[in-house]
Structure 1
Amino acid sequence: MISKASSGSGRRTSPTEEKLKFRLPAAMLTAAVLTLTTLAPQQASAEPTGPPLQLTGAPTVTTWSWDGYVGSLGLNLVAPDTAFEVHSTRANWKSPIVATWQSPSGPVALPEIAGSSWGGLGKFVRVTAKRADGTIAADRRMDICLNSWNTQRTSPDAPLRSPYPTGCPYHPYTKGSVQGIQEDWLASVEMWDRPFRLRPGTYTITASITSAYLRALGMSATEGRHTYTLVVKDGEESEEHHGRAARARVAQPTATEPRAARAGAPGDDLADLQSLPAYGMTLSPNGKVLRFSATVWNAGNSPMIVDGFRGSNDDEMDAYQVFTDADGNQTGYEKVGTMIWHDAESHHHWHFEDFARYSLLNADKTEAVRSRKESFCLANTDAVDYTVPGADWQPDNTDLHTSCGDEGSISLRQVLSPGSGDTYAQFRAGQAFRVDNLPNGIYYVAVQANPDGNLIETSTTNNVAMRRIRLSGTPTNRKLSVTRLGVIAEPPAEEY
């Protein structure tokens, strides 16, 4: 599938990671991972008998430095007695992110710094590196995403699978997230945004959970500390960057189109499509085009499943919405539109035509311009709110996975899972309005899900999100102002 956002579905590469690719080859990201045999086997227990988290690692870890940057410290977090789970939510765009530890005895509020961003728990661990002579080479408080890419069981008694997502969200309008470490599993402490800069040599590393978190978790300073030796060796420069192999299986519908336009009926579980405010807005260099990013997400307790079918001589596919029960069994289907082969720049796959609509509205909310972007391939590009009931924390690992297909496809399945959003970034074809013939003034960018009401969902009253903007300046020097929403700080538009 060709991705629509910066690096496709699942965890996407952040702008900072893109800048660091030339100095962080894939080998570095997996270097010095703790060998499981260095951990004592843990026995699962119904009641916690010790601290909820432990910092662990081998007594001596060897890692490599590329261009002076160390990508792995061989440091891990373990949940020894019971799963460690954190829910983060934002009540509205004016409210801060609030993080809560779901402890065995009930929710526990984490310190305010835990909600500094959606990227993890702010300043969770302090890491100090000392040289052989005792001088400090590095000292940093690090943000931690518990949903590490590198998770492993620490004992044969540990659960076989972890239910938690891979990676933390970074969409500026995320509403809720879930982080966690499964019982008797470890998660590596990763440094995606700010790798340590250490010269080759031997260092004493002291890692400590910071005091505000220790108090919230009921831990002592000793319980939250780990000291070990880090040996840093020269690494060879490499421009090769290997992406992570896709883990998901692509589910396909039967290749035979249903004989009827509908059968069965929706159950109690349904999708609920909602729109997030447009963001990442910018004018083209000549000032003629307003570009934007937009996200439609599923707030319901069931996936939005759309199957497409075409005959051997057809240029279009008939699209059917598939309904499932709580166990994922099909209860019915209904014809809801068509899919077309979208051969425009940056797409080249099958699009469903009845999913969303973009409009630029006048100050009185009447339509001034409609975007020519009117077809979409459904995909789980962003974790918008994994705290909603029924949210799928691992959408890439379900049997209902998204496929945009290729030109020879005769059937395919597109899915938007509960809690996930489908983002089209502003560099994609069609994510734009022509504004060169519009007068200066106030306008609204409207993102509307399910515009024709063909899709069956729990509610259509929450399908539209509007963002206020102002156009000003002269025809040769057009200017754009975007009204800020609450406390949300958007990255610069060029990073989209």
Structure 2
Amino acid sequence: MSHPPSPSRKRWGRAALVAAALGAPLLAAVAGGSTPATGAEPSNPTLDLTAPERVVVQTYGGDIYSDLGFRLEVTGAPLEIWTQRAADYQSVPTAVAKLPLGDVALPEQVRVGELRRFLRMRIVDLDNPDATPVVRRRSSCLSESTRISPDSQFKNSYPETCFYNPFALGAVQGVPEGWAASVFGSESRLRFKPGTYELSVTITKGYADALGMTADQRTATTELVIEDSDDCRGCRDRGANPRLTPNRTEPDADGGIDSLEDLPPGTPTPDLRSLPAFGIQVNRKGTQLKFAANVWNGGNSPLVVDGFRRDGEDVMDAYQYFLDEDGNQVAYRPVGTMVWHPAPTHNHWHFTDFATYELLNADKTRAVRSGKESFCLANTDAVDLTGDGAAWEAYEEDLGSVCGGYETRSIREVLSAGWGDTYAQFRAGQSFPIKNLADGVYYVRVLANPDGTLVETDTTNNESLRKVRIYTDRNGVRQVKVAPVGIITDDPWGSFRTR
């Protein structure tokens, strides 16, 4: 049963943000958010709760793993909230919004690091009009922020998530000007049977009044379709996908950067390199050669790729950003696309122009190409932290990767300097079909930046080859023998040892 969208639903974005997209190709960094023009009077931020018109989600064991697309958009000035308590733990925490026009007290808190009873949710069962609406209140944390304007500050100056500890004494959460934060986090924690619902979310009165939100700004509504899916977390019927629109404006399609020579002199750059494949084994049926692979960044700058969702599509336009030595944005260029990857071992957004895997014949011509052609960039392994610009605390740095859920409309994926991204054998696409291949010598080829789309320091070190021999043993079972790399060898589970 389908239902027309409610006329009160808000659409993502604003005319001002659309106009902001029509800027110069090179975007100057804005350190610390938007600064008022000389002589301009400071003002408090404008806050607006937004949601997509329709969201389709699947349950997994009765739970919904989605933030449902609800975002708190912040424009005009940053939103910063401090929560503190006395060191003797004899009183409840207090929360204060630190605004340009002065501090504003927020409602009474219970725990440091969350906003108590921040949201009011009203759920109406559209399949059963006689059912009583369900009303719930829930606490929240402003997290997982993304830019909604390309001329806002490049980095998020606030923590990406909230950390809870019963003995915490102080916490800071916030949203930079020109950014939007999730109000649910990665999980909405809803438990409803499959069906179609109207979900209205409202910032509760005490917070809305303190933050200067109007009745329209504090409420957003979506049509929520819940489907039963017990066997695949996050899987979706592509034919049932809602029409999702972008939640931020993207930069000019002509970024003005085609090569290293176009960058300002001395701009740090990433340098993608491939490690030899490892953990190589044949599956039990003898039909697939499974492997793990790692592409890492040996440059002196993080690889930063932002995605902007296309209107009504499961595709994002991707842009590579370039930073100066202080981490400020100095340039960008379009570098392909990101796509939603629905496989059970992925269920997030992948960048499509990062690496390819091939199984080569003994003469190094292609025998088979892996079906895996997209990646979510993330720091999984510290490969070389002794290099110039290597990030020693990559998991804590501001430019953290967010692979995102289906409702995400803009995203940032990052591979820090000195770090690599490993995809293990159990991931979908990490194998070659060998059922029709003859026994013999082959090479597992891992190639970073295969189409030269990304701008990097050196493209001559993007390839790695790992020699293997596929054979059939006396029992008719297909096996593989993997050549060592120097004095290093590894077993099929990827455990390295020195010969």
Alignment TM class, shorter chain as reference: 0.3 to 0.5
